[in-house]
A and B are shown apart, each in its own frame.
Chain A
Amino acid sequence: MPQQIPADSVGVVTPQVVQFDEPLTLKSGKTLDSYELIYESYGELNADKSNAILICHALSGDHHAAGYHSMDEKKPGWWDACIGPGKAIDTNTFFVLCLNNLGGCHGSTGPKSHNPETGKAYGSDFPMVRVSDWVTSQARLADYLGIEKFAAVVGGSLGGMQALRWSFQYPKRLAFCASIASAPKLSAQNIAFNEVARNAIMKDPEFHGGHYMEKNAIPKTGLMTARMLAHLTYLSDDAMGEKFGRDLKTDEIKYGYKPEFQVESYLHYQGEKFSNTFDANTYLLMTKALDYFDPAQYTDHDLAKCLSPAQCKFFVVSFTTDWRFSPGRSEEIVDALVEAKKDVTYACIESEKGHDAFLIPIPRYVKLFTAYMKRVASELNL
């Protein structure tokens, strides 16, 4: 619990829910007749609605990007380091919008929601959604709020893929695109990690073919394992070495198979925490959305051609020790943007924090991000 809300926090925030009754046909061919999206916003939308920034969340993120839900909440939203008054995404200037993606488990319609056709929870019957479907649903939320054009669409990791997708799916609807610690598509290794995670969930005896809610069960062990594995890929060898080394929980080794090293205990804690708050079907769905993302497949695998309809300016950032989406993956995006003669700024930030670095206020990153967002404000006369 924050004793006192910090001055550079957006403070206590309340999520809003919007119901959409216009059917949404998904890339898979399936249709959602109606759905709800939950979102949060920070800062004030200006009179001509030109100062809106859309934040797209990553695999395990949600709409709670900044501030606190109550004075009892232990930690602020997931990107509080970068969103708030005076922060990189300055809420004194911008109206910041973040929603829980369709298929999520934190308030937007997803596998945990009520399926009107069966009268039960969707479970694994929830249709698969792709990044393009998220972008379409985000545009509908923008329509609902009267936002014709975003000042910027911003995201890290899977969120960066959505931002990238925005640039050519709705080229007239954003002025700037920030894709941080992201990639133009997953590598075989990335997909392989996701498959191990999915396998852990689906082989859990409590999974029940994805209809575990009907059985009052949760595939907790599988979800924990999936998270433990994924969490590893977010950290670097150096970061883990620095944080845990070979430290033991107790004074000496016990010749047993229970967690003995601090790093084991940390992973168990992370897995446990995650499995209590995240839905296994949503996890499966999000990893598949990641795996399927490859927009250049529709333009002869030519990323420059894929990005050529974009009219916005781009900000691309990577981190030296990120091995999930390494700097080389961001540079693929940058090279394609240069080839397509788009405006782009790119930096590779030195950090030992691995993929998670994009969530952490690393001084050089914050300084650059702040300068870029000031440029956004200045070019748009905000």
Chain B
Amino acid sequence: MTTETLRSDLNIIQSWVNPESQVLDLGCGQGHLLAFLKRHKKCHGYGLEINPDSIVNCVEKGINVVEHDLNNGLSHFKDGAMDTVIMTQALQAVSRPDELLEDMLRVGKEAIITFPNFGYWRTRFYLLGKGKMPMSKTLPYNWYDTPNIHMCTFRDFEKLCREKGLRILDRTVVDSAHQESLAIKLWPNLLGEIAIYRVSK
């Protein structure tokens, strides 16, 4: 067996997933997380992906991948079919994040979501100082070609959760290197670049 190292945000996510549970990973990419969960936590899961090369990567890793556009929702999954539904860095790119979030918690008992924080101080200063849509390592696109059509801040997300009556079970905030720090814990909406939330109904 090769030693695997997971990106630190994925490492936080995997620690929130119960062993031997059913997992659905929305926008699973090359399947790193699912492969890890399968091997180390004996989870059974499926990844949804639309990128043809990523789908081949998943096949090579021996994980279940289903070609599916998240903008079409999750209506083909039955209520409660999964224990945990995970979505990393895709919430801001779908057409209706609010509806997808609701759907995630219809299909899964818990949802784990990560997204880039638009309230990060550099983003705020970029807009304030340059008067242009912010670009950074986490947000590398121009305003006209970005897939990130629904940027939000941590506060926005938590407001949405409150409105939908969702419980936030865990929250971790990391920088662009996916590391946690004390300062980020104190001022997450200002200093955190990426949020990781675990929510349930």
- Interface set of A (CB-CB < 8 Å, partner B): 331, 334-335, 338-339, 341, 343-348, 364, 367-368, 371-372, 374-375, 378-379
Q: Determine the chain A residues whose CB is within 8 A of the CB of B55 once the complex forms.
A: 345, 347, 368
B62 near A339 with CB under 8 A, answer: no
B52 near A372 with CB under 8 A, answer: no
For residue B161, CB closer than 8 A to chain A, the reply is no
A346 near B22 with CB under 8 A, answer: no
A347 near B62 with CB under 8 A, answer: no
For residue B132, CB closer than 8 A to chain A, the reply is no
Given contacts A345-B59, A375-B59, contact A338 B65 (CB under 8 A): no
Closest 5 pairs between A and B when the two form their complex, measured CB to CB: A371-B59, A346-B66, A347-B67, A335-B76, A371-B56
Per the 8 Å Cβ criterion, residues 49-88 of B in contact with A are 52, 55-56, 58-60, 62, 64-67, 76-78, 81
- Interface set of B (CB-CB < 8 Å, partner A): 22, 44, 46, 52, 55-56, 58-60, 62, 64-67, 76-78, 81
B62 near A346 with CB under 8 A, answer: no
Q: Determine the chain A residues whose CB is within 8 A of the CB of B60 once the complex forms.
A: 371, 374-375
Given contacts A345-B59, A371-B56, contact A334 B66 (CB under 8 A): yes
Q: Determine the chain B residues whose CB is within 8 A of the CB of A364 once the complex forms.
A: 52
**Chain B nearest Cβ from A254, distance in angstroms:** 47
**Chain A nearest Cβ from B179, distance in angstroms:** 34
A368 near B56 with CB under 8 A, answer: yes
A338 near B66 with CB under 8 A, answer: yes
A186 to B162 CA separation, bound complex (whole angstroms)? 46
A345 to B52 CA separation, bound complex (whole angstroms)? 12
A-B contact count (CB 8 A): 46
Given contacts A331-B76, A338-B46, A339-B78, contact A344 B66 (CB under 8 A): yes
Can you identify 28 A-B contacts, CB atoms within 8 angstroms? Answer: A331-B76, A334-B66, A335-B77, A338-B77, A339-B81, A343-B64, A344-B66, A345-B55, A345-B58, A345-B59, A345-B64, A345-B65, A345-B66, A346-B65, A346-B67, A347-B55, A347-B67, A367-B56, A368-B52, A368-B55, A368-B56, A368-B59, A371-B56, A371-B60, A372-B59, A375-B59, A375-B60, A378-B62
Given contacts A334-B66, A347-B65, A378-B62, 10 further A-B contacts (CB under 8 A): A331-B76, A335-B77, A341-B44, A345-B59, A345-B64, A345-B65, A347-B55, A367-B56, A371-B59, A372-B59
A233 to B66 CA separation, bound complex (whole angstroms)? 27
A346 to B63 CA separation, bound complex (whole angstroms)? 11
A130 to B60 CA separation, bound complex (whole angstroms)? 36
Interface centre among B44, B55, B59 (most CB of A within 10 A): B59
Q: Which residue of B lies closest to A338 (CB)?
A: B46
A364 to B59 CA separation, bound complex (whole angstroms)? 13
